[in-house]
Amino acid sequence: MIEKRFTLKFHSGYARPACLLVKRLTNLHAQIFLEYKDNTISLNHSVDSVMEIMSLGIQPGSIVKIYAHGIDEKEALKIIADSINY
């Protein structure tokens, strides 16, 4: 299992970044989780994941922790880094 903290830099809402992120992670086999404050959500459940990300109320400049475990965990973190810093 690997984990990494990310500072979110988006400035115009988070629905679009959430959708892009979840879409890009869909074909991976790793178990991927996002932790913000005291909430942890799975990023492996497409539509549900987008709604859960949006319900967290994450603001620009917030720090989130991502956990990934599985054969493509490194690829998952790269995709997340690219998606968050678009």
Count of domains in the chain?
1
Q: By the 8 A CB rule, do 5 and 47 touch?
A: no
What CATH number should be reported for the domain holding residue 9?
3.30.1340.10
Tell me, what's the pLDDT at 29? 92
Structure tokens at 85: 């810093």
Beta-bridge partner residues of 4: 66
Which structural domain, as residue segments, surrounds residue 20? 2-84
List, for residues 8-42, the tens digit of each pLDDT value. 876 666 677 778 888 888 889 999 999 999 999 99
